[in-house]
A and B are shown apart, each in its own frame.
Chain A
Amino acid sequence: DTAVSQTPKYLVTQMGNDKSIKCEQNLGHDTMYWYKQDSKKFLKIMFSYNNKELIINETVPNRFSPKSPDKAHLNLHINSLELGDSAVYFCASSPRTGATEAFFGQGTRLTVV
């Protein structure tokens, strides 16, 4: 039973489209995150929610909007997709904020053509 699951695993779309990536965790965690693996393979944090409240909002274009309908879900919606948005996006969760380990989903490879 997958702890942190993302859908879809692969997403190919055209420039200008709007797309969403969904994330669900069944671990009962309070905190969820979105990370982007950039072209240099760095993992960079984008957003974090704790109990459905936004607590981390990094400098990302406002075309990226996270939504947390409940604490088990954190979806990422991207408007007006650009070529440079192509990357692997990872969702993660942790029991709470503070020094707790994060559990990662399998990643979503987004390709914008």
Chain B
Amino acid sequence: ILNVEQSPQSLHVQEGDSTNFTCSFPSSNFYALHWYRWETAKSPEALFVMTLNGDEKKKGRISATLNTKEGYSYLYIKGSQPEDSATYLCAPPQGGATNKLIFGTGTLLAVQP
């Protein structure tokens, strides 16, 4: 079973602050890394799927980077808004192509107006 760690566990920021979280995963046999956003009482929503070392992806104010050699990914949110409040999950698939996602515990972000 892959060991996926996310930090911090939770984060409280003020509206307009920029923030970032970390996902650590085993670097051996890397296949891909997924990031999901999960709002309370809703379902997880995919943000990014990253496969290449040095990948950097962006969606609006959210971006992510990937380092497969050292086994980590950063998710950045620029100018946080209250609607960004959610749990952010990373998930590398175990077993490669089967897409068997192993989710981390997530980082709970609360953005206060």
| A pairs with B | yes
Interface pair A99/B43, CB less than 8 Å apart: no
Interface pair A55/B98, CB less than 8 Å apart: yes
- Report the interface size for chain A: residues with CB under 8 A from the other chain: 24
Point out the residues of chain A lying under 8 angstroms from B42, CB to CB: 106
Q: Pick the interface stretch among B20-28, B78-86, B99-107.
A: B99-107
Q: How many Å lie between the Cα of A31 and that of B89 in the bound state? A: 21
Point out the residues of chain A lying under 8 angstroms from B43, CB to CB: 4, 90, 104-107
Indicate with 1 or 0, residue by residue over A90-113, a CB within 8 angstroms of chain B CB atoms.
100010011111111111000000
Which of A48, A99, A104 has a CB less than 8 Å from the CB of B51? Answer: A99
Q: How many pairs of A and B residues are in contact by the CB < 8 Å rule?
A: 55
Interface pair A99/B93, CB less than 8 Å apart: yes
Which of A45, A103, A106 has a CB less than 8 Å from the CB of B101? Answer: A45
Interface pair B99/A43, CB less than 8 Å apart: no
Interface pair A102/B103, CB less than 8 Å apart: no
| Contact of A100 with B44 at beta-carbon distance under 8 Å, contacts A42-B105, A43-B89 already known | no
Q: Tell me if B45 counts as interface (CB < 8 A to partner A).
A: yes
Interface pair A100/B99, CB less than 8 Å apart: yes
17 sample A-B contacts, Cβ–Cβ < 8 Å, listed by A number: A31-B99, A40-B105, A43-B44, A43-B101, A45-B102, A48-B99, A56-B95, A90-B43, A98-B97, A101-B34, A101-B46, A101-B49, A102-B101, A103-B46, A104-B43, A104-B44, A104-B45
- Contact residues of A with B, CB < 8 Å? 4, 31, 40-45, 48, 55-56, 90, 94, 97-107
- Contact residues of B with A, CB < 8 Å? 31-32, 34, 42-46, 49, 51, 89, 93, 95, 97-103, 105-106
